[in-house]
Amino acid sequence: MIGAIVLAAGRGTRFGGAKVLASHAGVPLVRHVVERLRASGLEQVIVTAGDHLEAITAAVAGSGVTVVSVDPEGGMSASIQAGVAALPATCDAFLIALGDQPGIDPEIVRRVIETWERSTSAAVVPVYRDGVQGHPVLLDATLRRRLGALSGDRGARDLLQALGDRVVWMEVDAPVPVDVDVPADLDRLGG
């Protein structure tokens, strides 16, 4: 089984509040992400939430996901660790997606999974046009313990570099999905 972790515990300081709750087309950003992951065929989705636990839980209600509480002071690494801990032991691999990136493409999610299934890699990272590394990143479940050693707000970037040739850098002929960091980014999302 392959699961997914949606990182939604950040404070959204640059945005001026909980950006994952900002509305796009009448739907909170985090709900868009969850729906796209579910559309790709993933059944086990974990959403991490910090200061806005109740509002995020309400935003994804009825979608069949599990929401876990995270101390936002722990940074991205704490969110990854909480998400990994909430995944069932039967997960062979899991994707990490960003709760403020509502335009992820379910087809690209499926390609990332298929690339991992056809390889012996420990991770798959999509590389969008112009060489931009993006999400969702897939990590093999054998990395659970190494993820437990992460700290701060860098996520798994250093771990991916340390894995060397055990990472597949999957080329994607598409622009990187918009990552909403400031209110003006909502305008870049389009219809």
Q: Are 148 and 104 in contact (CB under 8 A)?
A: no
CATH number of the domain at 2-176, please?
3.90.550.10
Phi, psi of 29 (to 5 degrees): -55, -45
The predicted pLDDT at position 77 comes to: 83
**What is the helix, strand, coil percentage profile of the chain, to 5?**
40, 25, 40
| Phi, psi of 135, rounded to the nearest 5 degrees | -120, 160
Residue spans per domain, the chain: 2-176
Tell me what pLDDT residue 11 has: 73
The angle at the Cα of 172, spanning 97 to 182, to the nearest 5 degrees, equals 45
Rounded CA-CA distance 21/18 in Å is 6
What gap in Å lies between CA 117 and CA 10, rounded to an integer?
A: 31
Q: For residues 73, 76, 78 and 81, what is the CA-based torsion angle, rounded to 10 degrees? A: 170
Low-confidence ranges of the chain (pLDDT < 70): 16, 152-154, 191
Q: What's the confidence (pLDDT) of residue 32?
A: 95
